[in-house]
Structure 1
Amino acid sequence: MPEVIFNGPEGRIEGRYQPGKEPNAPVAIILHPHPQFGGTMNNQIVYNLFYMFVQRGFAVLRFNSRGVGRSQGLFDHGVGELSDAAAALDWLQALNRESRGCWIAGFSFGAWIGMQLLMRRPEVEGFISVSPPENLYDFSFLAPCPSSGLIIHGDKDRVAPPEAVQKLVDKLKLQKGITIEQQIVEGANHFYEDKIDELIEACGEYLDRRRADIAAGGGR
């Protein structure tokens, strides 16, 4: 898993990149939680999501947004972090020009950034949003949400409470042409203490199912 450095809007961005198994392997980008609360690309959930995609042959990138680790710049309340994510996806796609398929996964603050990135990138075929904090950030930009995806959260989450996540899911489920799947990890708090394996298993099962559906012509 090579360490990589690439250029972002504010200078150097530090990441970890695993090439795909095939030249046309799908790509995935993983987005970390809030940097001012200790969120980095080495967060356990981000790390495990990264390897979940690697095990399925994807070319995968996780990275530190501006001001985190060795990435240059300063925290920018989501605006700059979205630009960093777009630059990271550009870098990943430039390395994988023959890629078939693009996915975005994010945890907490990273789920918010990831869903904003979705709006800019029509080529994204699916997303995984882990504990999107609808109560803390404005998700009204999802009008409409351009691709199907999984929203997964814990029923004991106090940071992104179940009722707030439900509000987001209910709004997205009204949209036509996409399918939003919701899964709840019982007993899980925001950090999935003692529940990470269960979380990753559910995400992997969803990804396998969606990829098979897309391969069979099921579309988005």
Structure 2
Amino acid sequence: MILLDPPTWPAHGTVWSHLVSDTSLHELRAFARAAGLPDRSFDLDHYDTPADRHADLLAAGATAVGGRTLARRLGASGLRVAGHERAGARRDALRARWERLWSPLAEPARWPTGSPPAPASGPASAVLDAGGELVRRWSEPHRVYHGRLHLAAALDALDALLVTTPLTAAETRTVRLALWFHDAVHDGVAGRDEERSGALASDVLAPPSARGCCRPRRTTTSPGSCGSRRPTTRPRATASVRS
């Protein structure tokens, strides 16, 4: 069921309501899109809706409830995103995790390929550029389940697994990179999204001399194969980050 509480939250010169589903995020997204709500108003488990849309949304089929009832129903549904989960899925929190993943690159002698730092701005800038682009992709408004919350949860699950299943530093970085890139391209096309995500990883993580060989737009080329129809190698997780 789609639920809507009264517009009582002040911001941007008006007051706002919360629109939620106590059934599924798919139900919520379908209702919101049919009602013409912009994707940018979706906030992990609810839509923020302005007061001037309240009557329209009720007429479209939303059920009016009080704020406490809405919170209780959302919590009971299992769809509520807890505060600590929200914190972990923040853009700045994810960028910090990306930077920690590449912290050894701050020491030029430890660059995996032996390459010098990226020209002009150095390795720190390269790390920020690549991480910022990935976080932007994971923040795309059309995503439902496969957004920043999903990425943060996957990284948290890996952290827990590594406590009992230790890996080498190189293996750990490879697995973390696989999580960062596994759904980086998300256009809703099964198969092609995975292929383009792999191609993006190959392009971003390739050595400078090989960059541009495989690009996300090459949907007929397997990740890392540069023209072959089948993947021959995994994305180079130990190579430098594109500047």
TM-score by length of 1: 0.29
Q: Which has the higher strand share?
A: 1
Which structure would you say has the larger Rg? 2
TM-score by length of 2: 0.27
Q: Which has the higher helix share?
A: 2
